[in-house]
Structure 1
Amino acid sequence: MFEAAELGRKVSREEFDALAPDLRTELLDLQQQLRGADFPVVIVFAGVDGAGKNETVNLLNEWMDPRWIVTRAYGPPSDEERERPEYWRFWRDLPPKGKIGMFLSSWYHHPFVSHAMGETSPAEMDEDLARIVRFEKTLADEGALILKFWMHLSEKAQKKRLKKLEEDPLTKWQVSETDWKHFKLYDKFVGAAERLIMKTSKGHAQWHIVEGADPRYRYSVVLSTVRDAIVRHLETRAVARKVAAEMKEVPAKKAKPAALGGQPSILSSLDMTSSISGDDYNRVLQECRGRLSTLHRQAKQQGVSTVLVFEGWDAAGKGGTIRRLTNALNARDYQVIPIAAPTEEERAQHYLWRFWRHLARSGRVTIFDRSWYGRVLVERVEGFCSEEAWRRAYGEITDFEDQLVRAGTVLCKFWLHITPEEQLARFNQRGEIEYKKWKLTDEDWRNREKWGDYEAAVNDMVEKTSTSMAPWTLVEANDKPFARVKVLTTVCDALEAALKGKKS
């Protein structure tokens, strides 16, 4: 695989000086075009120690406008980063649309080094790499241009390069004991690199292997590849926008009702007469609050995070249920995230970005009032995204939730269900009570007219995203007290199970 990168290719100073002015001008011009583009550029640099990754990143920042470039290099996770899922810090740093992000020691570093050092098996490495492929595919499917450069040196060239850096007082700091330790395991690192590239070089995110011995050759290859890729992607996205615009002019087919072929839907199987008496409610509610308070304090001590997702019909009682739940918690330990239409900053990112950024440190509770499921509910029904996008989102969402749970997060998802008749009664009540009038909007009435479309979307959502690791809890919410008790009991049971699992 690396034979072609060990040919000792060079570019003379005269050749480089001749091509540099035009290449730099083209890159700057493309960067200005990117500022109005509907996609970000993600550039990953990896490879052999001493192969010129840092120098190449520096040159790109020098030749282009660094105000529109995000440069990130990662070391061992900080305390703040260790208390969140592994990919939190990568999602946090992704460039918005119109900008370029350059990443050193990125999501590839740990799987690569761990395997080369013999700390992980091939199967474990493959599992890590499969997660990377899904991550990059998620970004690419939303339009991101992903470029990956593997900077390679032969064993002889690497030794020469490290020694040269050590001999210069100005660059000596760049060589560490770890670099020499890795050099002694050169063959193992090359084997791990071959496996990494083979498993993760995909059509949407291909690896470019670059010989790193001669800096001018390295710069020429990387910068011209970046230029050509951006040009192609700008053209591809322009065509895609044109096709999308033409498709919008074609009348969309009406969504079918939720119950297909005479079969009952998931929601229609719920017993909507479920209720609890007033005396029992007051007693059980206090018991649940006391239990939740105790369990959360234990979870905080053990660093167990909790994420609660509330979805449901308008007027289903999400807000009231959340208030009963947070009443049992310390205000310092939870955050309620109300999700509305994305802001301008959020629209410039992948739709999952705003949810990743809100994940709290270990021991805290994050409550989402509406969530990432908007992609397969309101965005699907209202046509805010393409059918391809919302169908793809089921897999993206389950992968996101899988990462949360594998990181030790307790994840509970609730759909609060009411009947159309109960919703109408609550709407009318809201219109009569002064302090509740603000809750009732024209949008609520419009959504009600699309009840069948939304019910079909909810049934698909539950069917496709209720997994063993992150199941949905469907809550019969015609009776508000019953719904509140069911939610609190479910959260308590989930925390209790997680704490027992941590002890065993």
Structure 2
Amino acid sequence: MFETAELGRSIPKKEFEEQVESLRTELLAIQQDLRQYDFPVIIVMAGVDGAGKGATVNLLNEWMDSRWIDNNAYVRHSDEESERPRYWRYWRDLPAKGKIGIFLSSWYSSPFLDHVYDKISKAEYDERLDRIKAFEKTLADDGALILKFWMHLGKDAQKKRLKKLEKDELQAWRVNESDWEHWRMYDKFIDSAERLIMRTSKGHAPWSIVEGADGRYGSLTVAQQIRDAIVRHAALRTSQKEALVQLAKKDQAIKKAPEEKINKDAPIETLPYPTVLSRLDMSLTVEKEAYKTELKSLQGRLSQLARKATERGVSTILVFEGSDAAGKGGNIRRIISALDARSYKVLPFAAPNDEERAHHYLWRFWRHMSRAGRLTIFDRSWYGRVLVERCEGFAREDEWRRAYGEIVDFEDQIVDHGTVLLKFWIHIDPDEQLARFKAREVTPWKQWKLTDEDWRNREKWPQYEEAVNDLVEKTSTSNAPWTLVEGNDKKHARLKVLRTVCNALEARLQDK
């Protein structure tokens, strides 16, 4: 694999300077155009110690406008990072659309070194690499351009480079004992590198092996490939976008109909087949006195469990989804009233803002992963992709269909980190929803909760019920199952949610 990267190719200084002059102009122009495009550029720099990764990144920042480049390098996980799922720090640093993000010591570094030093088996190495493939495919499917460069040196060339750096008073700091240790383990490094590249070089995220013996040749090669890749990707994205626009116009022409006035008393259509929601027993109720007694008991139990979770560093994430007026807010209030306000956060989500739209849809949720011992409540969540965005046409069919797998992978990472993840769908039937809507209309302090959008969503009840059935079927896993809550009786719903939270926390604390 690395034979062609050890041919001793180089470029004379004069020729290099001549090419750089025009290349810089092209890169700056492309970078300005990129700011208008709807995709980010993600550049991964890896390779042999001393092969010129850092020098190449420095030149890229010099040749382009560094204000529109995010440079990211990683060492050991800080306490803040260790208390969150492993990929949190990478999601946090992803560039927005129109920007370039350069990653040194990226998501490849840890599994690569762990395998070299025999901290993980070959099977575990492959599993970590498969996680990387899924991560990069998630980004590429959303339009990101991913370029990965392996800067290579042969063993003799690496030794020569390290000795040369050591003799340079201004560069000697770059070489330390670990660099020489890696050189002595060269063959082992190369074996692991070959496996890494073979398993993770895909059409949507290819590896380019660049000879690093001559710094000018290596830097010029990387810059030229970045230039050409952005031009090709922009043309492809433009072509795809134009095709999608034409399809959308045809679709709108078929669906176009005069907007009808909302009929608030119109009967709700039902689906001709059973769903996970239609099978729920919506007649379940709890007597008022029994409710008060159990509520007090469960809240006391939750308070004690939450304190223990905080002390032991066990994080909890609660996801609340449900029909409009199903009672999500009431359930959340009964939970937080049992908690220390310093240990939890409630995050309501609506339509994404401009900054959030400039990133992958999961980005805004990844950035809210809490530190160890905290409880985070998501009032609406990443499931918007397969609910409102699906039903209202804000996401294309290919986008919301692939979201199921992306969501399962996201939740697996949360649970694998040791976080307690609970997902609640609070369900009410159409008659109960209508009664609650009518009550909100005449209750001054609740009128703000009711909008025309709620009424329009109600008219799409069958579409939403079908979407809920699909999401439960595709994302209720052993790691993160859905809890379906019969919500016609608010008292029953609140007790079921509290009971589920307490049981899950108790089980997790016993395991820990």
The TM-score, its normalising length taken from structure 1, stands at 0.98
Q: 2:89 matched to 1:83?
A: no
Aligned residue for 1:54?
A: 54
The one-letter amino acid of 2:184's match is: K
**Aligned-partner Cα distance in 1 for 2:164–2:333:** 64
SS of the counterpart of 1:251? helix
Match of 1:53, as an amino acid? Answer: K
Aligned to 2:10: 10
Following the alignment from structure 1 to structure 2, what is the Cα–Cα distance between the partners of residues 470 and 316? 22
**Counterparts of 1:98 and 1:137, CA distance in 2:** 19
Superposed CA deviations along residues 118-148 of structure 1, whole A, max 9, x for unmatched, are 1111100000000000000000000000000
Deviations 1:297-331 (A, max 9, x none): 11111111000000000000000110110011110
Deviation at 1:445, TM superposition (A): 0.5
Give the CA deviation at 1:251: 2.6
1:233 aligns with 2:243: no
Structure 2: runs of 5+ lacking an equivalent: 256-268
CA deviations on 1:90-129 (whole Å, 9 max, x unpaired) are 0000000000000000000001111011111110000000
The match for 1:322 among 327, 332, 340 is: 332
Structure 1 regions of 5+ residues with no counterpart?
none
Does residue 426 (structure 1) correspond to residue 436 (structure 2)? The answer is yes
2:351 to 317, 341, 346: 341
1:84 & 1:52 partners in 2: Cα distance? 32
Kindly report which structure 2 residues correspond to 1:440-479, keeping only aligned pairs within 5 A, or say none.
440-479=450-489
TM-score (norm 2): 0.96
Note the C-alpha offset of 1:258: 7.7
Cα distance between partner residues in 2 of 1:266 and 1:221? 56
The alpha-carbon distance between structure 1 residues 75 and 43, as it changes in their structure 2 partners (threshold 3 A), is same
1:81–1:89 Cα contact (<8 Å) kept = yes
Distance 1:322 1:177 in 2: 54
Structure 1 residue ranges (4+ consecutive) displaced by more than 4 angstroms after TM superposition: none
Deviations 1:472-492 (A, max 9, x none): 000000000110110011011
Aligned partner of residue 250 in structure 2, secondary structure? coil
Paired AA for residue 196 in structure 2: L
What is the match of residue 312 of structure 1?
Answer: 322
Comparing 151-160 and 167-176, the one that deviates more:
167-176
Distance 2:171 2:270 in 1: 66
Instruction: Give the counterpart letter for 2:161 in structure 1.
Output: R
Asked if 2 retains the 8 angstrom alpha-carbon contact of 1:258 and 1:265, the reply is: no
How big is the shift at 1:263? 3.9
Q: CA RMSD in A?
A: 1.1
Given residue 83 of structure 2, which amino acid in structure 1 is its aligned partner? E
| Residues in 1 aligned to 2:168 and 2:187: alpha-carbon distance in whole angstroms | 27
The percent identity for this pair of structures is: 64
Cα separation, 2, equivalents of 1:214 and 1:164: 13
In 2, Cα distance between the equivalents of 1:190 and 1:276?
Answer: 66
Deviations 1:184-214 (A, max 9, x none): 1100000000000000000000000001110
Q: How does 1:193-204 map to 2 (within 5 A)?
A: 193-204=193-204
**Matched residue, 1:111:** 111
> Counterpart in 2 of 1:285?
295
**Corresponding residue number in structure 2 for 1:148:** 148
Q: Secondary structure at the match of 1:383?
A: coil
Report the Cα offset of residue 182 of structure 1.
Answer: 1.1
**What's the counterpart of residue 484 of structure 1?**
494
**Secondary structure of residue in 1 paired with 2:5:** helix
Partner Cα distance (2:179, 2:108) in 1: 17
Encode CA deviations 1:20-54: one digit per residue, 9 max, x unaligned: 11110000000000001100000000011111000
The separation in 1 between residues aligned to 2:416 and 2:189, in whole angstroms, is: 28
Equivalent positions of 1:210-225 (< 5 A) are 210-225=210-225
Distance, in Å, in 2 between the alignment partners of 1:136 and 1:236 is: 19
1:49-81 Cα distance to aligned partner (Å, 9 max, x none): 111000000000001001100000000000000
Q: Could you say which residue in structure 2 is the equivalent of 1:162? A: 162
Deviations 1:130-183 (A, max 9, x none): 000000000000000000000110000111111111111111111121111111
One-letter identity of the residue aligned with 1:216: R
Question: Structure 2 CA distance, aligned partners of 1:113 and 1:497?
Answer: 35
Partners of 2:481 and 2:437 in 1: how far apart?
30
Query: Structure 2 CA distance, aligned partners of 1:346 and 1:65?
Result: 23
After TM superposition, list the pairs within 5 Å mapping 1:8-407 onto structure 2: 8-251=8-251, 259=271, 263-407=273-417
- Residues 448-473 of structure 1 show CA distances to partners (whole Å, capped at 9, x for unaligned) of 01001100100001000000000000
The answer to whether the 8 Å contact 1:325/1:488 transfers is yes
- What CA distance in whole angstroms lies between the structure 2 residues aligned with 1:404 and 1:6? 42
Q: What are the Cα deviations for residues 277-307 of structure 1, in whole angstroms up to 9, with x where unaligned?
A: 1001111111111111111111111111000
One-letter identity of the residue aligned with 2:303: S
- Residues 258, 163 of structure 1: CA spacing in aligned structure 2 closer, same or farther, 3 A cutoff? farther
- 2: CA distance between counterparts of 1:150 and 1:61? 19
Residue 278 of structure 2: SS of its match in structure 1? helix
User: Could you tell me how far apart the structure 1 residues matched to 2:359 and 2:273 are?
Assistant: 39
For the 8 Å contact 1:258–1:456, the answer to whether it is kept is no
SS where residue 422 of structure 2 aligns?
Answer: strand
- 8 Å Cα contact 1:258-1:453 kept in structure 2: no
Q: What is the aligned residue count?
A: 498
> In the alignment, residue 99 of structure 1 is paired with which amino acid?
K
Q: Answer yes or no: is the 8 Å Cα contact 1:258–1:459 preserved in 2.
A: no
3-state SS of paired residue (1:160): helix
* C-alpha separation in 2, matches of 1:377 and 1:353: 18
Q: Match for residue 265 of structure 2?
A: none
- Structure 2 counterpart of 1:330, one-letter code: D
Residue identity matched to 1:138: T
Hey, what's the Cα distance between the residues in 2 that align with 1:480 and 1:326? 17
